[in-house]
Amino acid sequence: MRRIDAPGLKAWIGDGRELAILDAREDGEFGRSHLFWANPCPLSRAELRARAILPRLGVRICCVDGGEGGLAERLAAYLEGIGCTDVAVLEGGTPAWAAAGYVLFSGVNVPSKAFGEWVEHRYHTPSVDPGELRAMMEAGQDMVVLDSRPMDEFRRMSIPGAIDVPGGELVYRIGEIAPRPETTIVVNCAGRTRSIMGAESLRSAGIPNTVVALRNGTMGWELAGFACDRGRTASFPRGTPESLPLALDRARAFADRWGVRRLDRAGLAALQAEADRTTYLLDVRDPEEYLAGHLPGSRMAPGGQLVQGTDNWVAVRGARIVLVDDTGVRALMTGGWLRQLGGWEVHVLTDGFAGPLEAGPWAPDCPEAAALSPATVTPEALAAALAAGTAQVVQVTRSLEFREGHPPGALWGVRTRLAALRPRLVPGRRSVVVAGEEALGRLAVPELEALGLGPVALLDGGLAAWRAAGLPLAADRRDPADADCIDVYLRPYDRNDGVEAAMREYLSWEIDLVHEVARDGDARFGEAAA
């Protein structure tokens, strides 16, 4: 297997050629310490993740782990097995990277988070602290508070009176939300960077209103002693806004300033036909719009979330990114920020909805799962077997989803590491895999069978079918314990203990990112040709 040392990989990062650095560890392990431009590709999800983030199998790839030995090699072997032709492993993993004098980063979505902090420094984004915002509210100031996060996060905790307007929608929708230039606009998120990016999007688009970010977001609000709302769903008005022409003019000017290109369907086909370049096709509209109908082959990547979590969708440095949007505003704004963040070659598709569309979610092919035909059991049959004591459940959803709901008595496990459950499983008793995604459930069945403890089946329809059947769910916020949630990087409010300290630590981490990035030297924020 081909190997590369730390200085060699450092040279690759700076040579301008396409490169994907894939970390084979689980997301929680990855979040503790990783390379700046590394992209998580955990072995437990590699069959789905690799195909989602590597549109071109011939791209140059370096696999990394934490020096445990074997994880990076296993990922590299898998990638070569599905047709990747230019794969190497970082010798010694992240410890060797640090030993060579290079910087390691904690956290997730680090390039995007660091970029948000850079934006504040670069554009001098104004902000207010929670006490100032509270005083503005009490004084009855003409203002709106706009939460730039997705609805699931907004529902969990929000500033009183705020409405949910995810970052990619702000410039597009602001004409309807705040038509009077006298209205002050306050943008918030959970912490810092999505507040900054949302506020600066409006400012960079030339909105005449006073626009400020809420310093430290909902975390700062609670740390200041104020209560957040829970369960609210106030959101932006749907449909095409009447102020579209003005929003489009503003977005075009911003995108042109940063070299965002335009192309049509024929141009897209030409890009995708080039065997030596990687092209991503991402639909930046609101999820509801995407699910109702989208260009075949495009992935759903809401614009604000794409900018603030680019590594969720894009693994290849130097790739081409083609953005799809019905009116162009969201794609143009997103493209301008992506150009500043990474210097990718960014295009906006001008006729993305001119042909047939498809509805529903996007999912990568997974031939490994499709080739398996495990025995299945219905939710009702599983419930009866559990009551009779003839079955046991292994749930392979995300740990946080397991905390929120699982069949009573179920064990939680990470696929590819199910051997850790051996001491807790009863030999001879039938095991039933409960999954959130059918492909991962199918893949887990033979791995559980390999333990040799007894027959294994798959719950037909997974956890969603169990819920739909109205069968009982157990919930326990402490199962699994925080320390065992290796599959996710816990946010402060996901933790069971030390939440306030974790909030303060997180906010300090975000603020310090811009200095760590400068020390690392591999980011080139703002260097796209304007």
Q: Kindly state the tokens that stand for 305.
A: 């979330």
Q: Which two three-digit tokens encode residue 515?
A: 């200095």
Domain-located, residue 518: no
Domain that residue 402 falls in? 367-480
Q: Report the predicted TM-score, pTM, of the whole model to 2 decimal places.
A: 0.96
Residue 488 lies in a domain: no
Report phi then psi at 34, rounded to 5.
Answer: -155, 170
Is the pLDDT assigned to residue 369 strictly greater than 70?
Answer: yes
Q: Same domain for 57 and 155?
A: no
What's the structural domain count of the chain?
4
User: How is residue 419 written in tokens?
Assistant: 């051997």
Note whether 153 and 209 are same-domain residues.
yes
pLDDT in tens, 306-336: 999 999 999 999 999 999 999 999 999 999 9
Of 528, 482, 529, 525, the residue nearest 113 (C-alpha)? 525
Positive or negative torsion for Cα 471, 477, 478, 479? positive
Confirm whether 510 is domain-assigned.
no
Domain boundary among 192, 211, 237: 237
- Helix, coil or strand: residue 266: helix
Q: Are residues 319 and 209 in the same domain?
A: no
Reference 486, options 405, 410, 404, 420; nearest CA is: 420
Residues 397 and 287 in one domain: no
Closest CA to 145 of 197, 245, 226, 212: 212
> Does one domain contain both 84 and 41?
yes
Instruction: Give domain status of residue 491, yes or no.
Output: no
Which of 206, 237, 268 finishes a domain?
Answer: 237
| Boundary residue ending a domain (349, 381, 407) | 349
| 101 and 118 housed in the same domain | no
**In the prediction, which pLDDT does 69 show?**
78
Over residues 175-230, the pLDDT tens digits come to 999 999 999 999 999 999 999 999 999 999 999 999 999 999 999 999 999 999 99
Same domain, 329 and 255: yes
In a domain, 502, yes or no: no
Q: What is the pLDDT of residues 399-414, one digit of tens each?
A: 999 999 999 999 999 9
What is the per-residue pLDDT for 492?
Answer: 94
List, for residues 256-290, the tens digit of each pLDDT value. 999 999 999 999 999 999 999 999 999 999 999 99
Q: Note whether residue 521 is domain-resident.
A: no
**In a shared domain, residues 25 and 122:** no
Say whether both 124 and 72 belong to one domain: no
CA dist 170 and 187 (Å) reads: 10
Confidence of residue 343 (pLDDT cuts 50, 70, 90): confident
Q: Is residue 508 part of a domain?
A: no
* Reported confidence tier of residue 530, pLDDT bands at 50, 70, 90: very low
Distance of alpha carbon 516 from alpha carbon 346, whole angstroms: 27
Do 95 and 135 share a structural domain? no
Co-location of 137 and 173 in the same domain: yes
d(Cα 88, Cα 60) in Å, to the nearest integer? Answer: 8
339 and 418 fall within a common domain:
no
CATH number at residue 34: 3.40.250.10
